[in-house]
Chain A
Amino acid sequence: DAGVTQSPTHLIKTRGQHVTLRCSPISGHKSVSWYQQVLGQGPQFIFQYYEKEERGRGNFPDRFSARQFPNYSSELNVNALLLGDSALYLCASSLGGGGTYEQYFGPGTRLTVT
């Protein structure tokens, strides 16, 4: 079975631009969560979506938004990019919307903002 997939693998953007990151969960998983990991730190929770509805939101500005599609894939959008948005963006999937700490992470998208 394929694991969680993310695209693109790497991305370079300029300050002020917009970026869209994509995630496909493990087949059968209905929940997708997004995390931001800055170098040297642990991942920080951004969003969780379950059955196309937002289930949780971390302490990130409104420039960050996400959505989940009927096939349970998800997009993370970041507007007006700042240098501080440079990070590894991780997507994690799980079967249900709650009740588990066992999540499956993708390889991440490395975003560099110049």
Chain B
Amino acid sequence: LAKTTQPISMDSYEGQEVNITCSHNNIATNDYITWYQQFPSQGPRFIIQGYKTKVTNEVASLFIPADRKSSTLSLPRVSLSDTAVYYCLVGAPTGGGNKLTFGTGTQLKVEL
């Protein structure tokens, strides 16, 4: 499994755009990049998944450069409710199972 490196914490203010970068230098050809969000005392929530270039949904955008050795989760105009831990996961879903490997994540704190 590809190892990921994320900042331990980030601070932002309401209304700003937040970009969280994840490094995954040894990503394999068939690996996908997936981001989860977790609020205190709740289970993680799937945010977005991508393989290359750019993916956008109603919550976030995921930017993946051509070499795929890193990826950036972009949260537009954050609010206080976006304060959470964000996890970057890299791996290949296989028929053998759905195991997710979480790191320690990035604690995002949004202030007024």
Residues of chain A whose beta carbon lies under 8 Å from any beta carbon of chain B: 4, 31, 33, 35, 40-45, 48, 50, 55-56, 58, 88, 90-92, 94, 97-108, 110
| Stretch of B15-23, B42-50, B60-68, B74-82 with 4 or more beta carbons under 8 angstroms from chain A | B42-50
B41 contacts which chain A residues (CB < 8 A)? 88, 107-108, 110
Q: How far is the CA of A55 from the CA of B95 in the complex (A)?
A: 9
Interface flags for B22-48 (1: CB within 8 Å of A; 0: not) read: 000000000010100000011111100
Q: What chain B residues lie within 8 Å of A105 (beta carbons)?
A: 42-45
Chain B residues with CB under 8 Å of chain A are 32, 34, 41-46, 49, 87, 89, 91, 93-105
Bound form: Cα–Cα A35–B32 in Å: 21
Which residues of the other chain, B, contact A44 by a CB distance below 8 angstroms?
102
Interface core residue of B42, B44, B89, B91 (most chain A CB under 10 Å): B44
Q: B97, A98: Cβ atoms under 8 Å? A: yes
**Cross-chain contact B100 with A103 (CB below 8 angstroms):** yes
Across chains A and B, which 8 residue pairs bring their CB atoms closest together, nearest first?
A105-B43, A42-B102, A56-B97, A98-B95, A101-B34, A55-B97, A99-B93, A102-B46
Complex Cα gap A58–B32 (Å): 21
**Complex contact A98–B94 (CB within 8 A):** yes
Name which of A102, A104, A106 has the most chain B CB atoms within 10 A of its CB: A102
Residues of B within 8 A of A48 (CB): 97-99
Ordered by A's residue number, 29 sampled pairs between the chains whose C-beta atoms are within 8 Å are A4-B43, A31-B98, A33-B98, A43-B44, A44-B102, A45-B99, A48-B97, A48-B99, A50-B97, A55-B96, A55-B97, A55-B98, A56-B98, A56-B99, A92-B43, A92-B98, A94-B98, A97-B95, A97-B97, A98-B94, A99-B94, A101-B32, A101-B34, A101-B89, A101-B93, A101-B100, A102-B49, A107-B42, A108-B42
